[in-house]
Structure formats: C-alpha cells, structure tokens
Structure 1
Amino acid sequence: MRKRLWGFVVGGLLVALLLAGVVSSFASSHPDGLDSSLREGCTFDADDNITGGSCPAQREKDHEVGGPLADYGVAGIDNEFLSTGLSGVVGVLLTFAVAGGAFWLVRRRGPREEGAAGRERAPAGASVRE
C-alpha cells in the first residue's frame, strides 16, 4: 500500500510541475475579474497604458517588497516563457516541501515507535499487564 501512495504522490508532483512549468506560460494575459473591475471607467492605449477616465487602477503601483518571484517570473531572467515556467516550478516545489513537512510533523506514528513516556506502545487491542 505504501508503494501505491508514493506513486500517487510522485505522479501528482510531476503533473503539478508540468502544469506550472509549461502550461502556466500559456495562461491568459487578459485581466481577471478583480483587475477588470478595477479598470472600469478608464481608457487604454494599444500598450495597455491608462490614457484617460477615472478608475481605481490609476492608483496602482509596484509592490514595495518585490522579491525573486515577483510578477509571476524569476528576477534576472529575460526570457518571459522561461521565467514564468521557472517561477511556477519553484512555487510548486516550495509548496510541496512546506506541505510535506507539515504532514510529516502531524503523521500518525506506528505501534512500534516510542510513546511520550519513553516506553514502547502496545499494539492496538492488546492488554497491558505490569
């Protein structure tokens, strides 16, 4: 059973890496629901710059902190396809590491591992005699 579980986990990780590394670069560049609602009331030129009107998007500014994975890309890589793919792969690996660590910390321990008092636990259903 453990072999099937590891196969499932590794298969899921590979699918997530494929989607993040390749398919994410083909995602729509059009604004999503939040972005489009913030742009209502403004006019835009061919380069998608605000040219007039009044909308909340006019107060938009870059994030103050920035970071190596800001704006769905890897800082320092000029190729947009590669940069987006790498940021997706790094994000999947970081998420997998954090989630895997959390699951490892809260996992159920088997009956042969030591209990809190330093004694070996008795198997489930067994009576303990002293």
Structure 2
Amino acid sequence: MSTTEQTEQTTDKKRVPFTWVAVGIAVVALLLAGVVSYYASANPDGLEYVAEKTGFIDSASEHGAADGPLADYGTKGVDDERLSGGLAGVIGTVVVLVLAGGLALVVRRRPGSTEE
C-alpha cells in the first residue's frame, strides 16, 4: 500500500462531531456525580478520621464557606442526606463542566489561524 493510499484511507475514517463527544462526557460525568455520590460513605473522610484518632478534632474551626449552599458535601435546604449529597455532586459537576468548556472555547485554535 502506498503512502497516498494510506493517507486517503486514514482521512476516510468517519469523525465523531465534537458536540457528541462533549455531550457524552457531560452525561457520564453527571451520572457519576449523581449516582456515585448517592452511595458515598457517611463516615468521616481521612483527615477527620485522623483528627479524631489523634485527639485534635476539637481544635478545628469553621472555614469561610461553612455557611455556603454546598458546604459539607451537601445542598442547603435539602433534608434527605443522600439526595442532598447527590445534588451537590451534580451542581459541582455542572459548574466544573461549564468552566472547563468556557476555558476550552477561549483557548482553542481557530481554523485558518497561523502559528508562529
């Protein structure tokens, strides 16, 4: 097979539109955020566990965002603890996807632009 034939064969592959890839990534991320966080452990995280075991948990103070709408892996105003955690995961994922998508749009290469 000649180089020309290989090039033609390579370019004949069907490309998946970026929109479909982005939607697929978003759906998977949202499903993971909502479903996996629903089954997250209610036990303290590693740092809290160590703080309890070594006896300095009482010296901890609240951070600046302790009264925030998504503080402590939950959603303020939602009484069901599992639903609250799942909703916080979904909201956090949406925020990250929007920020990452916006950044990608800002820094992407424009067609026809020349690189120097």
Q: Report the TM-score range of the alignment, normalised by the length of the smaller protein.
A: 0.7 to 0.9
Displacement of 1:2 in angstroms is 5.2
Long gaps (5+) in structure 1: 42-54, 112-120, 125-130
CA-CA distance at 1:32 after TM superposition: 2.9
Q: Provide the rounded CA distance (Å) in 1 between the counterparts of 2:56 and 2:76.
A: 28
CA distance in 2, matches of 1:100, 1:23: 23
Question: CA deviation digits over 1:45-77, x for unaligned, max 9?
Answer: xxxxxxxxxx11111233343211111111111
2:76 paired residue number: 75
Deviates more, 1:12-21 or 1:55-64: 55-64
Counterparts of 1:92 and 1:83 in 2: how far apart (Å)?
A: 14
What does residue 95 of structure 2 align with? 94
Q: Distance in 2 between matches of 1:33 and 1:77?
A: 25
Take 2:74 and 2:47, find their aligned partners in 1: how far apart are those partners?
Answer: 20
Determine the C-alpha separation between the residues in 1 that align with 2:23 and 2:40: 25
> Using the alignment, how far apart are the partners of 2:78 and 2:46 within structure 1?
29
**RMSD (Å) for aligned C-alpha atoms:** 2.1
Percentage of matched positions with identical amino acids: 43
Structure with bigger strand share is: 1
Name the CA distance, whole Å, in 2 between partners of 1:81 and 1:30. Answer: 13
Q: TM-score, normalised by structure 2?
A: 0.74
Report the more deviating stretch, 74-83 or 92-101. 74-83
Normalising by structure 1, report the TM-score: 0.67
Provide the residue aligned with 1:18 in structure 2: 31
Gaps of 5+ in 2: 1-14
Question: Relative contact order, CA 8 A, sep 6+: which one is greater?
Answer: 2
* Per-residue deviation, residues 5-64 of structure 1 (Å, max 9, x unmatched): 3222211111111111122021122233222221114xxxxxxxxxxxxx1111123334
Q: In structure 1, what is the equivalent of residue 105 of structure 2?
A: 104
How many equivalent residue pairs?
100
Would the alpha carbon gap of residues 25 and 99 (structure 1) be closer, same or farther in structure 2, given more than 3 Å must change? same
